[in-house]
Amino acid sequence: MNGPAGHVLVADIGGTNARFALADTSSATPLDPGSIGEYPVAQFASLADAAACYLRERGARARGAVFAVAGRVDGDEARITNHPWVISRSRTAAQLGLSQLHLINDFVAQAMSVALLQPADMVQTGGAAWQPAAPSLPRNYCVIGPGTGLGVGGLVVRDGRYYPLATEGGHASFAPTTPEQIRILQILGQQFGRVSNERLICGPGLVNLHRALSEIAGQDPGQLQPAQVSERAAAGDPVAMRAIEVFMDIFGAVAGDAVLVQGAWDGVFLTGGLVPRLLGPLRHSGFRSHFENKGRFSATLSQVPSLAIVHPSPGLLGAAAYALDLEQAPSGATA
């Protein structure tokens, strides 16, 4: 996004909400927190409509944009995994009058946020400590997080540049590790056929877990929302409490698997809408023991830091970091 200094429109588009902000790529801290606006995606027919509403309400203009979307980006097009929007990069740019628009996967943005995170934006989980390294040193990081779905990404740091990795690792198959989890897999398999990690580790996944555990206990929980499961757990309901515990166990195992697959020996960052809300249970759960329980690689995983991101808008921060990296890249280079 080489060009004169000015504001870039950044967005973090999930299956529930669309968040927008302005970023100043002439600054080392580009994201303007005072410019953040959030809108339910269900209120708009398209991403362009939502972005236009934001700009109109702010009385703002932008010379370019970086939109992070919760779905796979395929060339000019992106599809939101948990929402009907189909997004055309070129058509959206034309509708908004933008000279440049970059569509990136939402976990590309989450990964890029690592470049701008400050110590206060993270909470360590487990005993392995993380020390920020100079960008000149090679590093491999994993980023994983539950929200409306389960996102998985990576970040490779080489020679001062940040290279985010877009994956759909949340859709890898669920691998149970206990008899209870095997029974959960059987119950959910009757409903979904194939059971991916995302069927368990996300907001709707917590509901799926609670429903399966209720069936095991011979109970009918009725139709619940994720927040209601958390509320029941906080009130001492044993099945809801167990659902949170199993959620954390599986989350830890999945995060450890992601580190093994990516070779992310320098750390895993936990993000997504559920992480700040479940930070207390996360820090006092079996997350870390299941993260490290990898047989012959258990000793290796015990040295890998895991950090919960508590920054209020890591997706927007990462989209701003992506825009900044494009601005600073040598001519002809890409992120």
16 assigned ligand-binding residue = yes
Can you tell me the distance from the alpha carbon of 114 to that of 332, in angstroms, rounded to the nearest whole number? 24
Can you tell me the distance from the alpha carbon of 251 to that of 314, in angstroms, rounded to the nearest whole number? 20
Can you tell me the distance from the alpha carbon of 96 to that of 88, in angstroms, rounded to the nearest whole number? 12
Nearest CA among 140, 164, 132 for reference residue 151? 164
Q: Where are the beta strands (DSSP E) in 214-297?
A: 268-270
116 — phi, psi (to 5°)? -115, -5
Are 18 and 38 spatial neighbours (Cβ–Cβ below 8 Å)? Answer: yes
15 assigned ligand-binding residue = yes
Sequence-separated (6 or more) residues with CB below 8 Å from residue 309 = 110, 113, 117, 121, 122, 145, 269, 270, 271, 275
52 assigned ligand-binding residue = no
For residue 20, the cross-strand partners are 11, 37
Cα 141–chain centre separation: 14
Cα 297–chain centre separation: 25
Tokens 């100043």 label which residue? 24
Can you tell me the distance from the alpha carbon of 178 to that of 315, in angstroms, rounded to the nearest whole number? 34
13 assigned ligand-binding residue = yes
Annotated binding site: 11-16
Annotated binding site for ATP: 11-16
